[in-house]
Structure formats: C-alpha cells, structure tokens
C-alpha cells in the first residue's frame, strides 16, 4: 500500500498551487446580456461575437501572454437580474472586464456596479444617452446613442418619407421609450408634430386596439421604439387590418427573428430601421466574416460589435502591459483601436467619437439592406 512521504505531499501541494496560479492567470471577461428571454437573439449574437474574438486573439498570443477566458452571464434583459449578474461577475468570478450589457435598462444599473469595482465594461448595443452621461470612469460603448439615431430616423421621416402624420409607439423601456422620444424630438424640431404617442407593454401580442387607434389618426408613418418581439405582431396586425402605413424603427430589430415574430417576410417587406453602417461590409472584418459564414453562421446584428468590444479591451490591456483598468480606460480614451468594424475612437465619456447610423430597408426575401 502506497504511503505518501513529505516529498510526495510537497509535490502535490506544489502542483495544486501551480494549477491554481495558471487558472488565476487567465484574463477573465464576462459577456453579460439576454441569453434567455424575449431578447435572447441579441444575447446569442453577443456570445458568438465575443467567443470568436477570444479564440482569434488567444491564437495570436492572448493578452500579455495570457489566454482570454469568457464567462457567460444571463440578465434576461431584466434590470434587477442585471445587477445580480454584475455583482456575481465582480465578486465571485473576479472578471477583469465585461462585454455588456445589451438592453439599456440593464446596462444603466449594472455599469454602476462595475464602475464602483473599477472594472471596465463595454456595451455592444446599449444606446440610451444616460449610460455615458453620468460621468462614470469605466463605461464604454461600441455603438452610437439614441440622440444620434433619433436624428437619422426623424430626418428620414421628414425628408425622404415626406410624412404628414406620425404615430409614435414605444415599449416603455429605457431603450424603446428613449429612442422614440429622441425621434419625436427631431420631427418636432423639423416642424412636424406626432398625432399619437402611445406606450405598450413588453410581452403583449394583441395590438388590434392599438392598430384601430392608429387608423383613427390617419397616420401615414408609424415609428416604433422597442424590440422585435413586439414590433413583429404590431406590423403584422397593421397589415392584416389593411393599413399600408410606413413602419420605421430602430436597431433592436436587427435580427432574422424579426421575420418570424412578424409571421413571415411579406409583413416586414418595405419596413425601415436605423442601424450602424453594416459591419459585414467592412474590409477590416472580411476574414472573420468569411470564417463565420464558413461555419454556417451569418454574423448579423451585434455579432461584430461584440467581437470588436473584445478586440478593444484586448488592445488596451496589451498596450498598457497589464490588467490595470485605470490605465486601460485612459488608453482607450486617448488611442484609436483597430477592429473588424474599422478604426474606432472613444471620447472622454466612453462614447464613440463618430456615429455611423444609417437607414436600412427590409425586403421581400426577409433580409435587411442598408440604403
């Protein structure tokens, strides 16, 4: 029977310590977003983008010689759950940085947890201005703001659609209502007043009463601030009731699931939405995009935004030669970052210096293309 000696025990202890140090040496990045729930399509985009970025960066040496290890965190697009997730990532998982969250209503409270802990967070899709207007030191976003997106939508409604009567609908959420209000502010600035301003509740499916109300206003354009699970039934029921009213919305419709929630491509045909310049057309990301497609995945929506967020974090940590969030945050605000979406630069608030929102139109084939 084998009896361990002091030497054996010392070797076991040394091995355990070495393994522990190796595990601790990983650069831990949380990927926090709606992995379940109504907005889960965007959580999937975020994870796929971050996961591939980590694989590609690790293959090139990682961050300061260490491998990136991702931790998936589900906030279900619920603010309270987002705060719980943020606390777990900071206190239990000891993350070095976070890619997330997605819904603005989650990012606002969660970012306060990260900021207090001195952890950089970079959202690939939260657009509410409040996120970066609070003076937090460690918050960044790889997307634009609602007050930029709303201007593009409002001007398009006035200048291109030549709307006479606009109905503004929103989902009462931080993102949805914020974007609707920004668009409304722009059309008012352009001398056009809304004929209806109405809030709906997330999770609703029957909008026939709302459609009847829209019909009574004679609106020739409906602007919706919200996400695809509600946008789909609204546009379908508009069409089923015979209304040809032009439907315009924002970047939270940038998923193929928009077609299924609407009940088919014929319902989304002709619909407009604002979104950043299509990253799939960027020559900087061609190799990554081709790789995604070769594995049967179309990197739609915010996939490449999430990939770029991991790239930006890795670039900052590599540049400062450590995982010092103070130095990395300062570096990001002073240096350009090369990403699959091109060169990105951040201002002192953590916003991109250049917003690239444009208008897209959905076609009869159930896909969207930039105009």
- Say whether both 76 and 194 belong to one domain: no
**Residue 241 domain boundaries:** 147-277+358-370
Tell me the per-residue pLDDT of 49-78, one tens digit each, with 9 for 90 and over: 999 999 999 999 999 999 999 999 999 999
- Say whether both 151 and 258 belong to one domain: yes
Whether 272 shows a pLDDT value over 90: the answer reads yes
Residue 13 lies in a domain: no
- Say whether both 166 and 128 belong to one domain: no
Segment 185-209 shows an average pLDDT of 96
Residue 110 lies in a domain: yes
pLDDT (0 to 100) of residue 48: 98
pLDDT (0 to 100) of residue 245: 97
CATH number at residue 197: 3.40.50.2300
Helix 325-332 / helix 303-320 crossing angle, nearest 10 deg: 120
Whether 156 shows a pLDDT value over 50: the answer reads yes
pTM: 0.89
- Say whether both 271 and 210 belong to one domain: yes
- Say whether both 222 and 234 belong to one domain: yes
Whether 186 shows a pLDDT value over 90: the answer reads yes
Residue 2 lies in a domain: no
- Say whether both 241 and 251 belong to one domain: yes
Q: How confident is the model at residue 19 (pLDDT cuts 50, 70, 90)?
A: very low
> Cα 305 to chain center, whole Å?
7
pLDDT (0 to 100) of residue 9: 42
Residue 96 lies in a domain: yes
Segment 358-362 shows an average pLDDT of 97
DSSP state of 241: T
- Total domains present in the chain: 2
- Say whether both 126 and 202 belong to one domain: no
Of the candidates 94, 38, 29, the one whose C-alpha atom is nearest the C-alpha of residue 63 is 29
Alpha-carbon distances of 189 from 31, 58, 139, 178, rounded to whole Å: 38, 49, 30, 17
DSSP state of 156: I
Residue 12 lies in a domain: no
- Say whether both 197 and 317 belong to one domain: no
Whether 309 shows a pLDDT value over 90: the answer reads yes
Segment 225-234 shows an average pLDDT of 96
pLDDT (0 to 100) of residue 311: 98
- Say whether both 220 and 265 belong to one domain: yes
- Say whether both 252 and 286 belong to one domain: no
Residue 11 lies in a domain: no
pLDDT (0 to 100) of residue 164: 97
Is the distance from CB of 251 to CB of 227 less than 8 angstroms? no
Residue 82 lies in a domain: yes
Instruction: Please spell the DSSP secondary structure of 90-118, one letter per residue.
Output: HHTS--SEEEE--SHHHHHHHHHHHHHHT
Of the candidates 192, 260, 262, the one whose C-alpha atom is nearest the C-alpha of residue 220 is 192
Residue 307 lies in a domain: yes
pLDDT (0 to 100) of residue 187: 97
- Say whether both 234 and 364 belong to one domain: yes
Tell me what the pLDDT averaged over the chain comes to: 93
pLDDT (0 to 100) of residue 11: 43
Whether 35 shows a pLDDT value over 50: the answer reads yes
- Say whether both 267 and 300 belong to one domain: no
Radius of gyration, CA atoms only, the chain: 23
Percent of the chain with pLDDT over 70: 93
């Amino acid at each position: 029977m084998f009896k361990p000696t002091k030497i054996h025990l010392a070797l076991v202890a040394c091995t355990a310590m070495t393994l522990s140090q190796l595990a601790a040496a990983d650069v831990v990045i949380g990927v926090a977003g709606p992995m379940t729930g109504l907005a889960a399509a965007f959580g999937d985009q975020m994870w796929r983008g971050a996961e591939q970025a980590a694989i590609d960066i690790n293959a090139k040496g990682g961050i300061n010689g260490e491998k990136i290890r991702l931790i998936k965190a589900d906030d279900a697009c619920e603010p309270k759950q987002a705060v719980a997730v943020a606390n777990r990532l900071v206190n239990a998982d000891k993350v070095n940085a976070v890619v997330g969250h997605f819904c603005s209503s989650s990012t606002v409270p969660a970012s306060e947890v990260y900021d207090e802990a001195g952890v950089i967070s970079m959202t690939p899709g939260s657009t509410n201005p409040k996120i970066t207007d609070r003076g937090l030191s460690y918050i960044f976003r790889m997307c634009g703001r609602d007050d930029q997106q709303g201007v593009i939508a409002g001007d398009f409604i006035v200048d291109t659609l030549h709307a006479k009567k606009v109905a503004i609908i929103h989902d009462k959420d931080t993102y949805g209502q914020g974007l609707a209000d920004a668009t409304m502010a722009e059309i008012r600035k352009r001398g056009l007043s809304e004929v209806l301003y109405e809030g709906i509740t997330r999770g609703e499916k029957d909008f026939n009463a709302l459609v009847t109300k829209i019909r009574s206003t004679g609106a020739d354009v409906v602007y919706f601030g919200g996400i695809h699970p509600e946008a789909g039934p609204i546009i379908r029921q508009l069409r089923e009731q015979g209304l040809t009213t032009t439907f315009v919305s924002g970047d939270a419709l940038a998923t193929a699931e928009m077609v299924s929630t609407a009940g088919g491509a014929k319902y989304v045909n002709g619909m407009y939405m604002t979104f950043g310049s299509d990253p799939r057309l960027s020559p900087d990301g061609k190799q990554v995009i081709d790789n995604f497609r070769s594995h049967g995945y179309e990197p739609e929506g915010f996939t490449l935004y999430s990939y770029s967020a991991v790239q930006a974090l890795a670039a900052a940590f590599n540049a400062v030669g450590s995982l010092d969030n103070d130095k990395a945050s300062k570096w990001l605000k002073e240096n350009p970052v090369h990403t699959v979406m091109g060169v990105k630069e951040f201002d002192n608030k953590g916003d991109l210096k250049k917003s690239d929102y444009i208008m897209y139109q959905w076609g009869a084939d159930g896909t969207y293309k930039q105009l």
